[in-house]
Amino acid sequence: MKKERSEKKSKTPKNKYILMYDTSESFPDLFEVVKRLVEDKLGSHRSGLMLGITDLGMGPNGFIGAFFMLGSNAIVINRQPLNLVKNRTPELHKAYMFYLLLHEYLHASGIIDEAEAWHTAAGLSLEVFGETHPVTRIAENFSNIFRDIVQPAFGYMPPEDATIELIPGFDRSSVTYIQ
């Protein structure tokens, strides 16, 4: 009986967001999924955004994964935890990238309150990806999943170089006038 159920589960067709996510390989690819998801589910859209990656540092009690500054058009992602996730838990790297983009895009789309953005990202992730998908697991329990990334409580130094690397072609579906 259990075998029959698991076979039925695996034959369930994937929704369009999972298919898009599965074929995504870069920040711009993942961002297109995020934008489609938010527009379809919430009716919100924001175009003309840029993505920057920089070293924001990490502290003894945690880190800032990414941020969106109100009134700007840029999402900025912290390179250090991004690289740590890639090296320590590569199976979560893509889901981590997606979650950061989703959460910050919700801010860019008008959800300013941090708790509301977190709850909205978790709800959308659960609805679209299901409870066992890495994106949902990250959205629902970020701090427990990445607790081993927090550095020990000694020697925090802010980064000396605050250069932001811009990701080319990030919001490509919004920029149709440049060929």
In 89-133, which residue ranges form alpha helices assigned H by DSSP?
A: 90-108, 114-129
Give me the pLDDT at residue 6, please: 43
Residue 89 belongs to some domain of the structure: yes
Domain count, the chain: 1
pLDDT value at residue 110: 95
Q: Is the residue at 111 inside a domain?
A: yes
Residue 175: predicted pLDDT: 57
Query: What pLDDT score was predicted for residue 5?
Result: 46
User: Which tens digits make up the pLDDT trace of 131-163?
Assistant: 999 999 999 998 888 876 655 444 545 567 777
Residue 92 lies in a domain: yes
Q: Which of 74, 102, 90, 85 is nearest to 146 (CA)?
A: 85
**Whose CA is closest to 75, among 103, 46, 99, 104?**
104
Between CA 77 and CA 75 the distance in angstroms is 7
Q: Is the dihedral of CA 146, 147, 151, 157 positive or negative?
A: positive
Amino acid identity of residue 87, one-letter, is N
CATH code for the domain of 72: 3.30.2010.10
The average pLDDT across 82-103 equals: 95
Q: Is residue 178 in some structural domain?
A: no
Whether 78 maps to a domain, the answer reads: yes
Edge-first strand listing for the sheet containing 74-78 = 66-68, 74-78, 50-54, 165-166
Residue 28 above 80 pLDDT? yes
pLDDT, tens digit, 9 for 90 and up, residues 46-86: 999 999 999 988 877 778 899 998 889 999 999 999 999 99
Q: Determine the structural domain holding residue 33 and report its residue range.
A: 16-172
C-alpha angle with apex 165: 82 to 162, nearest 5 degrees?
85
Q: Tell me the pTM.
A: 0.82
Q: For residue 74, how many other CB atoms are within 10 A of its CB?
A: 16
CA nearest neighbour of 26 among 168, 133, 139, 136: 168
Whether residue 60 contacts residue 154, with contact meaning beta carbons closer than 8 Å, is answered with: yes
Neighbour-count burial of 77, counting CB atoms closer than 10 A to its CB (0-12 exposed, 13-18 middle, 19+ buried): buried
Cβ atoms of 38 and 124 within 8 Å: the answer is yes
Cα-trace Rg, the chain: 17
Higher pLDDT, 10 or 114: 114
pLDDT of residue 153: 47
In a domain, 130, yes or no: yes
Average pLDDT, the chain: 85
Does residue 179 sit within a domain?
no
Identify whether 98 is part of a domain: yes
The answer for residues whose C-beta is within 8 angstroms of residue 97's C-beta and 6 or more apart is 27, 30, 82
Res 173: pLDDT = 74
